[in-house]
Amino acid sequence: MFRRFGLLLDSLLFEVLIYFGIFLLNLRLFSTQVGMVSDIRTHLQLIPEYLDNRLYIPHPLFYILAHGGHWITGLPYDFVVPFLMSTLSVLSILLTKRLIKFYRPGFHHEFVYILTAVAANYAIAIYLPRYNPYPYLGQWSPNVWHSPTMMLLKPLALLGFCGTVHYVNGLGVGRRRVAWLTSAALAFSTIAMPSFIVCFLPAMTLFLLVFHWGSSRLYRNTFLMFLPSLVLLSWQFIETYTSHAQPTYFHDSIIVTNFTVTRLYAPSAFISTLLVAAFPLSVLLAIRGRLNRNAPLAASWFLVLVGFLQASFLAEKTKVSQGAFVFGYVISLFIVFFFSLVEFLAWFAPRTEPAVSFKRKAVVAVIAAAHLASGFWYYSDLVAGKRVF
């Protein structure tokens, strides 16, 4: 009986049913938010103005895709946008699972990879309602459900990050093809939402200087890989913060703050940071001095450091409460959570490196479970329409 149950968990049919169930739940979630005062509703209302050339949008990829879906199907945006977001959420899980298998092959049960991929896409900050009644606001999160552009950015950012780290640390096999595909993924991520590339460029610069000091040829090739994104980012910056030729909701100016956005919603920036980064920090402490052997995890920590600094000390003057620079921190948290889960999974596979003790595994597992339980509780509230953030 147990063998049959194991075969069921590993079957393609079971996996398809999981994805289909997630798709339907997300469709309900996003459709509910369309009818509420929500970020999704705001983005949806911007689409016609952008298409009529009455509004400048610095990152138009989602709006273009939404209009494409509307044009092909003839369905209203109120349905197309939730459908597109639901599709992107499932695509993110599929991509996450594929990459986990790439980095940690060898597990005989497919369900291990499915469960890890779902965990990566549902975990949030550990929720303590007495500390802060908001599960997301103030702590921030590796996963958000209210932003259409972030839903599109997530798979593109993950592809761009993994491709870059693979290229930088590659052995030469397929590196040129990887470089082209990575450059395209990063460029599209910039058009989807520049939050990731704004963090990623300085983070990878630091990573190259620390781990590949003096590799001038690698510096040049990496710069060329980043060049399309740099050009796009420069144009976005000029149009958004210095030029006001066309009216837009997005025009603003950048100011220096002192944890201002976080303090609007949470009593302590320090505690909020611990609550959202508890799992990756526990993994980091468990492996101690072996971080330099795990290039993707090390690079993800450079990324989350830059994201944290930007979210803490930068904001837009007019729209401070919207936390424009928080979204770079959010996508950075997702990537560091992903590679921390990949490392955690490796502790349960045959390995030649020194094993992590049972006590450390247990502590990290409990912390991971707290993140995931918080994420599922938060998600259930969103699906039920009890909250937007």
What string of DSSP letters covers 152-180? HHHHHHHHHHHHHHHHHT--STTHHHHHH
Residue 294 belongs to a domain = yes
Q: What is the pLDDT of residue 203?
A: 97
Residue 24 belongs to a domain = yes
Q: What is the pLDDT of residue 2?
A: 45
177 or 241, which is more confident:
177
Instruction: Write out the residue range of the structural domain in which residue 319 sits.
Output: 2-383
Question: If 0-12 CB within 10 Å is exposed, 13-18 middle and 19+ buried, where does residue 16 land?
Answer: exposed
CA-to-CA dists, residue 214 to 210, 220, 223, 358, angstroms: 10, 11, 14, 40
Residue 286 belongs to a domain = yes
Calculate mean pLDDT across residues 336-344: 97
Band (289; pLDDT cuts 50, 70, 90): confident
Residue 389 belongs to a domain = no
Residue 331 belongs to a domain = yes
pTM for this predicted structure: 0.94
Range with the lowest mean pLDDT among 90-94, 102-106, 259-263?
102-106
Tens digit of pLDDT for each residue in 307-328? 999 999 998 888 888 888 999 9
Structural domains of the chain, count: 1
Handedness of CA 160, 184, 67, 326 (dihedral sign): positive
Q: 61 with 188: CB under 8 angstroms?
A: yes
Residue 355 belongs to a domain = yes
DSSP state of 251: -
Residue 388 belongs to a domain = no
Calculate mean pLDDT across residues 97-120: 92
Residue 188 belongs to a domain = yes
Provide the angle, in degrees to the nearest 10, between the axes of the packed helices 148-168 and 39-51: 90
